[in-house]
Amino acid sequence: MATTGPLGDILTTLLERQPFQRKAGAPGTLSQMCIALLEEQSEASGLQLAADILEAIKQHPKDARLEFYRFLNTQLDIDPDQIITLAQAYRENASTQTFQALAQASEARRQDLFRRLNRAPGATADLVNMRADLLKRIGEEQTLGRTDHDLIHLFKSWFNRGFLVLRQITWDTPASILERIIAYEAVHEIRNWNDLRRRLQPADRRCFAFFHPAMPDDPLIFVEVALTKGVPGSIQDLLSVERKEQRAEDADTAVFYSISNCQDGLSGISFGNSLIKQVVRDLSLEVPNLKRFVTLSPIPGLARWANSQGIVDLADDSARLKKLAAHYLLDIKKPDGKPLDPVARFHLANGALVHAIHAEADISEKGLAQSGGAMVNYLYDQAKITQNIENFADNHGVAASGPVRNLAKQAARLQRSAQEINK
């Protein structure tokens, strides 16, 4: 299946930048080099200086980077007094000139710096990595969030869906990319190359990833898909070494069993919704017999919540586990009214419904620790996706099947009974 269209090919060709001959590093401190870049008029000199700055950032001792981030945050910030003056001028005379002046003043100089840096070869990946490091520092110094706000503002433009290229990952994909897939897998560990081959090579397995033309060999996000008969209830069965391969055309269900974000520096920029929608469209064309699109998802916060309620040993009682999981997914909310579970928030916001809950579905050490081994199917019913999205956005309504709702009601009754006994 061809997953890269003509536009993607053009973008990849245009945005792959070739290295240029480097001169000796620019003199001065890192902050001085940044100011010089902001004032540089020559494109060639600007490219050279941008490359030198990015290299200097990478070579900068990690402990010293905090001072650089402070420089970005304070010395290249907006001037509130200037904005007030220009806002008053715009209020008195809403001309194009006063609007432009106000707009320019309202943008921190660091945004212009980031744009100039991004012209250098390989700069986009360097800036993404820089933000990943910055995010680690924000816990120590909350005001750095201003600089992070500007980076994420730019990234949302640079990484919008129109620039992303969908590619199928196969066993014939270059090894450098396959190595990254192994490293980035965040849901079900890929133990070795044979394990990876079992997820890519069989006729009933697929893997798709989004790439950006400026980072053509480094995926942004990828999803692993199993083509099955019926809805699976166990990751062990889905990934079993002994499982029998089937023909893709015999499958009636596409199962999204692992979605992994690859770039920490792109945290807060959502690719998953677009990825799932595109893969559903492509698979519907490739395998017309597919009738259902579901996930087999972890419930990462279940055990933590249960422990906070004094409930332990989740895996000891499968019937109780399923009821508690249903109650947790449907009824336990954050202060803003959205589900407490992060995976549930993601799929419900994208229009899925809670379809089925399974005990003993992930008996790995990680699966038992985070949910007592329980997993959940989220169903993407294409006829109801829009309705579900609107209901979740407007009312935080959780779409769920009848059996799951019944499980949640039983759990609520059990919890009330336990509270009455403890009075």
Provide the annotated active-site residues: 297, 347
* DSSP single-letter state for residue 107: S
Q: DSSP alpha helices (H): ranges in 287-364?
A: 302-308, 318-331, 342-349
Strands 221-228, 253-261: pairing kind: antiparallel
Closest of 351, 350, 305 to residue 326, by C-alpha = 305
DSSP 10-51: HHHHHHPPPP----SPPPS-HHHHHHHHHH---HHHHHHHHH
DSSP 190-237: --SHHHHHHHHSSTTEEEEEEEBTTBTTS-SEEEEEEEESS----HHH
Phi/psi zone of residue 12: left (φ > 0), alpha (ψ -120 to 50 degrees), beta? alpha
Q: In the numeric block, which tokens belong to residue 80?
A: 């509130």
Three-class DSSP category at 259: strand
User: CA torsion, points 286, 254, 298, 180, in degrees to nearest 10?
Assistant: -30
* DSSP single-letter state for residue 296: -
Q: Which amino acid type is present at position 244?
A: K
* DSSP single-letter state for residue 188: S
- The answer to whether 247 and 321 are in contact (CB under 8 A) is no
Which residues fall within 8 angstroms of residue 280, CB to CB, at 6 or more apart? Answer: 254, 293, 380, 382
Residue 131, H or E segment: helix 123-138
Rounded CA gap, 36 and 276, in Å? 44
Rounded CA gap, 353 and 367, in Å? 22
Cα separation of the two ends of the chain:
62
